[in-house]
Amino acid sequence: MVSTLADVARAAGVHPGTASKALNPDSRHLVAAVTVQRVREIAAELDYQPNSFARGLRTSRSFTIGLLVPDLTNPLFPPIVRGIEEVLGAAGYSALIVNTDNDAKKEMQLFMTLLSRRCDGFILATAFRQDPVVEAISKRNIPAVLVNRSTESHLLPAVAGDEVAEVRDAIKYLVKLGHRRIAHVASPQNLSPGYIRHRAFLTTIRDLGLEPEECPVVVATGFNEAAGEAASKELVSHSTSRPTAILAGNDQLAIGVMDRLSTTGIKCPEDISVIGFNDIPRMDRINPALTTFALPKHEMGVKAAQILQAWIEGTSIPEPSTIYLPCPLIIRDSTGPAPS
């Protein structure tokens, strides 16, 4: 068994209360320097580890944060997690990480179990545009911040990519290359990125004076390659009216679109240019290398964690607004001049 505070106190010939003060940085100054020294030595000797159950029970602090992600297997999320861990880990917090698979029921259930573990705060990369968990958190006034997704009702602070700017930059870039028939394969609309990009697409098309009927949108039923392939089938079937450029909702959808193109015998980028979003790993190595926007994943994690830490520790209560981080356009080989 491991040793307890009482063991340390006994060995040091002091009262447990005193030992506690000696060992705790915030109350060390209340104890004589020699005593502190002795207690610490003995603690080290017995390699005493404070029982975090007991401490938590007393202080109502766990130094644990709950981290909800849709799926760690999606390469978007690990860098975010690392960014979070980098700041919160250094501050003494550990992360309880769960995968929700974009399942609202699972999300709520997992949240409840994390809640009963008394997490000091939460970071959610899982929010739906309307999200009961977000409401539950907000109602209970628990520190929490959203990352990569935001909710319709701005109940919690969020850190996300600047999706509106991305879409505008993408379309401007394509127009400069001579494209006028630009289509959008949108990701599902119940999550903010899909919805925001879709809306930004519509308004940008209008703002730039393109013909809306030449710029169709089709909403994919998922986030992966297969969904992209399925969604673009109809889009590229009529060789006369087909777009010359396709903006996919994310990189995986873009790959699916390119799969469809290659099975249909359409060349990318000669016939149709394709753009993705997020710049997940190895998009520079697929064929053709994908033009996409670099979401600052690590930085998003860092920012979210900083906001959460300040909130937990009472340094600053954040506004429930969204911070939009810029996403540079990475031009590679999947885009080129519009065919003549």
Partner DNA sequence: CTGAAAGCGCTAACAG
Partner DNA sequence: CTGTTAGCGCTTTCAG
Q: Which stretch binds DNA (CB under 7 A): 55-63, 98-106, 134-142, 237-245?
A: 55-63
114 binds a copy of itself (CB under 8 A): yes
Residue 115's binding partner among a copy of itself, DNA, none (Cβ under 5 to 8 angstroms by kind) is a copy of itself
Residues in the chain: 340
Give dist(CA 121, CA 3) in Å, integer: 30
Contact 305, 86 (CB under 8 A): yes
Q: Which does 118 bind (CB under 5 to 8 A by kind): DNA, a copy of itself, none?
A: a copy of itself
Taking a C-beta distance cutoff of 8 angstroms, is the pair 185, 235 a contact? yes
Partner in contact with 292, chosen from DNA, a copy of itself, none, beta carbon below 5 to 8 Å by kind: none
- Main-chain phi, psi angles of 72, to 5 degrees: -60, -20
Of residues 19-38, those binding DNA (CB under 7 A)? 20-21, 23-24, 26-27, 29-35
- Residue closer to a copy of itself, measured from CB, 157 or 296: 296
**Distance separating alpha carbons of residues 161 and 139, to the nearest angstrom:** 26
- Candidate residues 27, 37, 49, 203; the one interacting with a copy of itself per rule CB under 8 A: 49
User: What residue type is 290 in one-letter code?
Assistant: L
- The SS3 of residue 145 is strand
Told to check if 112 binds DNA by CB under 7 A, we report no
Handedness of CA 16, 26, 137, 84 (dihedral sign): negative
Q: Does 115 bind a copy of itself (CB under 8 A)?
A: yes
Q: Which two tokens stand for residue 302?
A: 């860092």
Cis? peptide before 216, omega within 30° of 0 = no
Q: Are 258 and 283 in contact (CB under 8 A)?
A: no
Q: What is d(CA 261, CA 253) in angstroms, rounded to the nearest whole number?
A: 12
Contact pattern for DNA over residues 59 through 88, marking x by CB under 7 A: x-----------------------------
Kindly list the distances between the CA atom of residue 209 and the CA atoms of 92, 164, 168, 255, in Å, as whole numbers in the listed order: 53, 17, 13, 29
Name which of 49 and 153 has its Cβ closer to a copy of itself: 49
| Helices 251-264, 225-235: crossing angle, 10 deg rounding | 50
156 makes contact, choosing from DNA, a copy of itself, none, with CB < 5 to 8 Å by partner type, with none
Token digits of residue 247: 């903006």
Residue with tokens 């030449």: 214
Among 46, 97, 230, 325, binds a copy of itself (CB under 8 A): 97
What is the pattern of x (binds a copy of itself, CB under 8 A) and - over residues 190-229? Answer: ----------------------------------------
Q: For a copy of itself, what does the binding mask look like between residues 251 and 270, x meaning CB under 8 A? A: ----x---------------
Answer left, alpha or beta for residue 213, where phi above 0 means left and psi between -120 and 50 means alpha: alpha
Question: Which CB atom, from 9 or from 125, has the smaller least distance to DNA?
Answer: 9
Nearer to a copy of itself, 18 or 64 (CB): 64
Residue 75, interface with a copy of itself (CB under 8 A)? yes
Q: Which contiguous run of DSSP H or E holds residue 185? A: strand 182-186
Contact status: 57 vs DNA (CB under 7 A): yes
Q: Which stretch binds DNA (CB under 7 A): 4-12, 197-205, 218-226, 256-264?
A: 4-12
Instruction: Show the tokens assigned to 214.
Output: 């030449």
Q: With contact defined as beta carbons under 8 Å apart, do 123 and 145 qualify?
A: yes
Residues in the interface with DNA (CB under 7 A) total: 30
Is residue 44 a contact point for DNA (CB under 7 A)?
A: no
Note the residues at the interface with DNA (CB under 7 A). Answer: 4-6, 13-18, 20-21, 23-24, 26-27, 29-35, 48, 50-51, 54-55, 57-59
Site of interaction with a copy of itself (CB under 8 A): 49-54, 56-57, 62, 64, 71-73, 75, 78-79, 81-82, 85, 89, 92, 94-99, 112-118, 255, 281-282, 285-287
